[in-house]
């Protein structure tokens, strides 16, 4: 089978990781795989694809924009690409790639089109950006009829999309990341190196951590607001945040204002998930999510989690009230974190619980689920 994966950006991100994992596994199974991505949108995917000897094509006009002129130019560009290349399946992995589905159905009607909602973005009920919500809904309603199989990464997203008449789909495929974790000791030593501290500095610290884009939906401000209260009773807390994005300067200002510069470290690393075993607690305060890749990576690292109850998070954590809190509630966030820091039995029980929960998210299952969709009549 010849499969083209389309994704807008090549930077590090959950959708990119899943697209890469799926591409690698399908290639290992003998399928012919190619990726299409936006030009000058990062190097992560390109570097990884070159390591795996997976071919790729960059599109100059594929970008994170709803500008009609750019969309028109991308359609024209993709049409020219399809004139020279043919595929059995075109699998789209970001909303800005959707215009390619319209082009595909007009030029090659027999080619199967699959679109994975990696989340609902501005259509999520947690998003308050109502103007963008309106435009995104119109955008989806125009292009989704050209998709043979819409796929969701969580039951919650699928049910909400059906409720608002976005599309009628029964397809849910859970994300399944692949991570080579460092041991707890190795992770702590690497974290010490990253913050230029001597070996053993973290031994007596209580380490909270998160990995994600520094952007509005992730709501990391909530942790910064909660930390001064947590430090009153747990002064050894440190918070490691791996990521980059538009809120970086804003977060730095908050850290300075709250006198948290000795307790908060914002770092960048392409493979930050390898350090997860060095965290005592993984914290994810998002306003909305599809099915967070980093949440599953933390689950597979078998560490306690405190996550806002949005999107598919409750599916990942089996509705475990010890690990879920109501989005935006600072007091609830503090209470969940303190419970793990102060109650060793709860901490250890949750580690064992997450070992069981993590079995739901296997790469083999994810790949086979997609193959069933690709070959469905």
Q: DSSP letter string over 279-344? A: -SEEEE--S--SS-HHHHHHHHTT--EEEES-TTHHHHTTT-TTTEE-TT-HHHHHHHHHHHHH-H
In angstroms, how far apart are the furthest CA atoms of the chain?
A: 65
Of the candidates 57, 107, 88, which has an alpha carbon nearest to the alpha carbon of residue 373? Answer: 88
Give, for 237, the enclosing helix (H) or strand (E).
strand 237-242
Tell me where in the chain the CATH 3.40.50.2000 domain(s) lie.
Answer: 2-176+362-374, 184-360
User: 264-315 pLDDT, tens per residue?
Assistant: 999 998 789 999 999 999 999 999 998 899 999 999 999 999 999 998 999 9
Closest by CA position to 317, among listed 278, 291, 336? 291
Question: How far is C-alpha 72 from the chain's CA centre?
Answer: 28
Element (H, E) at 253: helix 248-257
> What is the C-alpha separation between 123 and 137, in angstroms, rounded?
7
Other CB atoms closer than 10 Å to residue 80's CB: what's the count? Answer: 11
Q: Can you identify the CATH homologous superfamily of domain 2-176+362-374? A: Glycogen Phosphorylase B; (3.40.50.2000)
Q: Give the C-alpha distances (Å, rounded to integers) separating 55 from 36, 42, 89, 363.
A: 9, 16, 16, 22
- The matching CATH number, chosen from 3.90.170.10, 3.30.565.10, 3.90.245.10, 3.40.50.2000, for 184-360 is 3.40.50.2000
Give the residue carrying structure tokens 């599916």.
315
End-to-end alpha carbon distance in the chain: 15
Write down the pTM of the prediction. Answer: 0.85
- Residue 61, phi then psi, degrees to nearest 5: -110, 10
List per-residue pLDDT tens for the chain, 377 residues long. Answer: 999 999 999 988 888 999 999 999 999 999 999 999 999 888 899 999 999 999 999 999 999 888 999 999 999 999 999 999 999 999 999 999 999 999 999 999 999 999 999 988 888 888 878 888 888 899 999 999 999 999 999 999 999 999 999 988 889 999 998 899 999 999 999 999 999 999 999 999 999 999 999 999 999 999 999 999 999 999 999 999 999 999 999 999 999 999 999 999 999 987 899 999 999 999 999 999 988 999 999 999 999 999 999 989 999 999 999 999 999 999 999 999 999 999 999 999 999 999 999 999 999 999 999 999 999 97
SS3 34: strand
């Amino acid at each position: 089978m010849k499969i083209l994966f389309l994704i807008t950006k090549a930077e590090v991100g959950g959708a990119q990781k899943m697209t890469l994992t799926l591409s690698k596994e399908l290639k290992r199974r003998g399928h012919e795989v190619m990726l299409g991505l936006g030009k000058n949108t990062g190097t992560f995917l390109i570097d990884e694809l070159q390591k795996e000897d997976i071919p790729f094509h960059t599109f100059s006009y594929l970008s994170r924009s709803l500008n009609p002129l750019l969309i028109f130019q991308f359609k024209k560009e993709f049409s020219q690409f399809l004139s020279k290349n043919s595929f059995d399946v075109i699998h789209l992995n970001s909303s800005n790639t959707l215009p390619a589905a319209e082009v595909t159905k007009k030029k090659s009607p027999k080619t199967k089109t699959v679109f994975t909602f990696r989340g609902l973005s501005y259509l999520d009920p947690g998003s308050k950006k109502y103007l963008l919500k309106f435009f995104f809904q119109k955008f989806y309603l125009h292009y989704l009829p050209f998709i043979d199989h819409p796929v969701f990464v969580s039951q919650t997203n699928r049910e909400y999309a059906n409720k608002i008449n976005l599309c009628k789909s029964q397809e849910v495929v859970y994300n399944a990341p692949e991570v080579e974790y460092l041991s707890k000791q190795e992770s702590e030593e690497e974290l010490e190196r990253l913050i230029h501290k001597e070996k053993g500095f973290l031994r007596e610290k209580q380490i909270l951590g998160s990995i994600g884009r520094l952007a509005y939906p992730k709501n990391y401000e909530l942790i910064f607001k909660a930390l001064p209260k947590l430090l009153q009773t747990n002064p050894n807390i440190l918070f490691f945040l791996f990521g980059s994005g538009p809120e970086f300067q804003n977060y730095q200002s908050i850290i300075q204002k709250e006198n948290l510069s000795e307790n908060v470290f914002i770092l960048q690393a392409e493979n930050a998930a390898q350090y997860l075993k060095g965290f005592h607690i993984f914290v994810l305060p998002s306003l909305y999510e599809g099915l967070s890749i980093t949440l599953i990576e933390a689950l597979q690292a078998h560490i306690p989690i405190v996550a806002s109850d949005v999107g598919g998070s409750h599916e990942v954590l089996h509705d475990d009230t010890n690990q879920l809190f109501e989005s935006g509630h600072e007091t609830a966030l503090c209470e969940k974190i303190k419970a793990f820091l102060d109650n060793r039995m709860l901490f250890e029980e949750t580690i064992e619980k997450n070992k069981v929960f993590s079995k739901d998210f296997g790469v083999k299952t994810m790949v086979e689920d997609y193959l069933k969709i690709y070959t469905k009549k």
